[in-house]
Structure 1
Amino acid sequence: MGAPKVLYPVASLSNEEYPDHIPEFRQFEKDFNVVYKSFDQPFEDIKELFRTGDLNDVEAIWLTGAVIRLQYPFNDLIDYFPETLRVIALPWVGHDRIDGAQLRSRGIHLVNIGDAPSKDVADIALQLTLGTFRYTHFFERKLRESNGSIAKAREVIGGTDVDTKTREPLPPTDPKRKNYTKYVTVGGKALNSPAGKVAGIVGLGSIGKEIAIRLWAIGMEISYTKRTPLKDGELSGLPYKPTYFNSFEELIPHVDLLVLAVPHSSETTHLINKDTIKLFKRGARVVNIGRGSAIDEDVLLKALDDGTINSAGLDVFQNEPNIDPRFVNRHDVTILPHLGSFTEDNFRNSTLRTIENIRDVLVNGGQGIHLVN
């Protein structure tokens, strides 16, 4: 019997995700029959590859961005997968685009990388948090624009207004507002320390727990909500004592910072909406490193304008890969290009987790180390 066949889909013009620099992946190529196939083909041609072509005996699929960028939904292919297929492995966390239930009905395991990127994503959540409290992104930009003039970069401190056209904060016109012991505002928005404030985390899973550790380390109190509260064994292993709320709506009024760390689902779509925005403390902050669909962005922008929300830090957006241009020039929004997991360490760890998952199913007869369906 030959080595188990693993499909590694590639793009026709480049193979930007190919991790051939990792020794464990090169060993994986020796242990398995890894087939590299371009998916930049018409749907009917791909179907035939699985039905009667050279993919009709594939046992695993290592999913790549080449599949996600298909012109048709990946789920449309499920009915055409061969009976030999036993596992589809995602080298990332999110699996909401893949029909796990349909795969399960075919006896196909869907696996992801578990908590591999948790620490890296949590680092970005911390950076966004500091940005929402201290506006560091804005002041860095002003310092660069002023060619390194500290005085010029700080001239807006104490100001209460923004330019109606550019949305840029204006320097204070009243000399009394230049008293930093009394007025530490930018465009009417207060600069605060996160220490002593309450952070509410929606989704205290592996990523949420790492975020909580970082926010607790800078002096924040931790509250959270999730489907079921943490068990005593989980709580005993934490350096902080989080406060549990039964629902998102119950959590909101008690927090100074809301952090969204949830996957996409029907239950998490537009958690922040025209009704829940009314529950926030005036001047609260919002950070989102989960999925952009969790926020109705029109509602958030209006809340930023009227001061309901002081500031926001966003690494994910509703309409990725593009974002609403209204976010781009706001001083009260820190934006990043979905950067949470982008470290060398994470991509190496993700590769190793994907290898472990496939080995567990094809060699050990397991369900995968990180089964998600």
Structure 2
Amino acid sequence: MSKPKVLITRRWPASVEAKLQERYELTLNLDDHPFSLAEFQAALQNYDAVCPTVCDSLPAEVLNVANKRCKILGNFGVGYNHIDINAAKQQGLIVTNTPGVLTESTADIAMTLLLMSARRGAEGDRLVRAGGWTGWCPTHMMSSDVTGATLGLIGFGRIAQAVARKAHHGFGMKILYVKPSPAEQAIVDDLQAVRCDSIEAMLPHCDYVSLHCPGGNETRHLINAERLSLMKPSAHLINTARGDVVDSSALIKVLQEKGIAGAGLDVYEGEPNIHPGFLNLENVSLLPHLGSATIATRTAMGEKVLANLEAYFAGGELPDRVV
């Protein structure tokens, strides 16, 4: 019996690619280029399973292509707002994701950006590399304390809770959070976390605000000019969630005007095309979407996709089925 045909749209860790190669008739994207809409349409017509990433775009015009062979999209990533889920449902396409395995690595990047922004780490690195450092001075590059400061979390799922643990137990930070319903009492007790009634109620009390909500139409520009204006002038905004949660133009404006002290970003609207306004700002730290970029985490993500594919082709229950 012939093996199912599987396409992965970007290169994965070699160990996972090898396992896929053993089990399936696998096609790799050897030069690792981003797929065009036409390439995705052709993939859906020619493969039993297509495995996209969180930076691929699969709108309705792609998913509605005629003569579709594909029955499952094994998404490499937790977020799936890049896939038109309603169109996938209408087309009978199964969509899976990779929850649970990237919690700690993404939380680590959130804390990295928080520290970089607080202590002006990226700015200092640029200064030294440019040969502009003239020596230690008591008033040079003064920055903000992290220990004992107040951290506000918008969203309080697995990643946000991991950030809260690192911040509270590691740095003695006070934890505020916004979530539609209260978190489990044991978690609240461990973190001494306080739930706020709304984003607006929380922002004025925070020294740092970290975003941990999904992307999509419901959260697009959740952080806008009005909400940024509620933050302290000394506060910092951290985003490791999805780029479209933040209105880039509004954030650039408030950073230019020193309405807040700084920002740390790992995700962007329209990435990898970053708003050029960010590039000349000293008070923003920019990373290239590194949240899950550890060897162990990316391998575990690939193994999650593999498990979902194996369950599908065996006719079993898919562990991470979204649609």
TM range (shorter): 0.7 to 0.9
- Please report how far the alpha carbon of residue 80 of structure 1 lies from its aligned counterpart in structure 2 after TM superposition: 3.9
Amino acid at match of 1:326: G
Q: How far apart in 2 are the matches of 1:128 and 1:103? A: 35
SS of 2:164's equivalent in the other structure is helix
- Please report how far the alpha carbon of residue 352 of structure 1 lies from its aligned counterpart in structure 2 after TM superposition: 0.6
Within the candidate set 90, 108, 123, 1:105 is matched to: 90
Amino acid at match of 1:278: S
How do 1:163-174 and structure 2 match up within 5 A?
none
For the pair 1:7 / 2:1, whether they are aligned, the reply is no
Partner in structure 1 of residue 184 of structure 2: 231
TM-score when normalising by structure 1: 0.75
SS of 2:302's equivalent in the other structure is helix
- Please report how far the alpha carbon of residue 311 of structure 1 lies from its aligned counterpart in structure 2 after TM superposition: 1.1
Within the candidate set 277, 288, 299, 2:250 is matched to: 299
How do 1:40-55 and structure 2 match up within 5 A?
43=38, 46=41, 50=45, 55=46
- On the 8 A contact 2:101/2:297 being kept in 1, the answer is yes
Amino acid at match of 1:252: L
- Please report how far the alpha carbon of residue 123 of structure 1 lies from its aligned counterpart in structure 2 after TM superposition: 1.2
Percent same amino acid at aligned positions? 25
Partner in structure 1 of residue 261 of structure 2: 310
Q: How far apart in 2 are the matches of 1:341 and 1:204? A: 18
Worse-matched range after superposition: 278-287 or 323-332: 323-332
Q: How far apart in 2 are the matches of 1:346 and 1:228? A: 29
Within the candidate set 289, 305, 321, 1:338 is matched to: 289
How do 1:1-373 and structure 2 match up within 5 A?
2=1, 5-9=4-8, 17-19=11-13, 21-22=14-15, 25-34=17-26, 43=38, 46=41, 50=45, 55=46, 58-63=47-52, 68=56, 73-80=58-65, 85-146=70-131, 152-155=134-137, 180=138, 184=139, 186=141, 191-216=143-168, 217-232=170-185, 235=187, 239-366=190-317, 368-373=318-323
RMSD: 3.1
- On the 8 A contact 1:63/1:89 being kept in 2, the answer is yes
Q: How far apart in 2 are the matches of 1:17 and 1:106? A: 27
Q: How far apart in 2 are the matches of 1:64 and 1:301? A: 28
- Please report how far the alpha carbon of residue 361 of structure 1 lies from its aligned counterpart in structure 2 after TM superposition: 2.2
Amino acid at match of 1:34: L
Q: How far apart in 2 are the matches of 1:203 and 1:89? A: 25
- On the 8 A contact 1:311/1:333 being kept in 2, the answer is yes
- Please report how far the alpha carbon of residue 269 of structure 1 lies from its aligned counterpart in structure 2 after TM superposition: 1.4
Q: How far apart in 2 are the matches of 1:334 and 1:79? A: 39
Amino acid at match of 1:60: A
Q: How far apart in 2 are the matches of 1:289 and 1:263? A: 10
Amino acid at match of 1:281: K
- Please report how far the alpha carbon of residue 276 of structure 1 lies from its aligned counterpart in structure 2 after TM superposition: 1.4
- Please report how far the alpha carbon of residue 141 of structure 1 lies from its aligned counterpart in structure 2 after TM superposition: 2.3
- Please report how far the alpha carbon of residue 301 of structure 1 lies from its aligned counterpart in structure 2 after TM superposition: 2.5
Q: How far apart in 2 are the matches of 1:84 and 1:199? A: 48
Q: How far apart in 1 are the matches of 2:172 and 2:179? A: 23
- Please report how far the alpha carbon of residue 355 of structure 1 lies from its aligned counterpart in structure 2 after TM superposition: 0.4
Q: How far apart in 1 are the matches of 2:166 and 2:208? A: 14
- Please report how far the alpha carbon of residue 3 of structure 1 lies from its aligned counterpart in structure 2 after TM superposition: 5.3
Amino acid at match of 2:125: E
Q: How far apart in 2 are the matches of 1:43 and 1:313? A: 35
- Please report how far the alpha carbon of residue 4 of structure 1 lies from its aligned counterpart in structure 2 after TM superposition: 5.3
Taking a change above 3 Å as real, the CA distance of residues 48 and 224 of structure 1, as seen in their structure-2 partners, is closer
Aligned length: 319
Q: How far apart in 2 are the matches of 1:192 and 1:363? A: 55
- On the 8 A contact 1:139/1:154 being kept in 2, the answer is no
Q: Deviations over 1:113-167 (max 9, x none)?
A: 11222222211111111112111222222223338x5xx1545xxxxxxxxxxxx
- On the 8 A contact 2:12/2:302 being kept in 1, the answer is no
Q: How far apart in 1 are the matches of 2:184 and 2:276? A: 43
Runs of at least 5 residues in structure 2 that lack an aligned partner in the other structure = none
Q: Deviations over 1:281-327 (max 9, x none)?
A: 23211111112222222322332233320111111222421223332
Q: How far apart in 1 are the matches of 2:40 and 2:149? A: 57
Q: How far apart in 2 are the matches of 1:296 and 1:28? A: 39
Taking a change above 3 Å as real, the CA distance of residues 371 and 249 of structure 1, as seen in their structure-2 partners, is farther
Taking a change above 3 Å as real, the CA distance of residues 48 and 126 of structure 1, as seen in their structure-2 partners, is closer
Q: How far apart in 2 are the matches of 1:61 and 1:298? A: 35
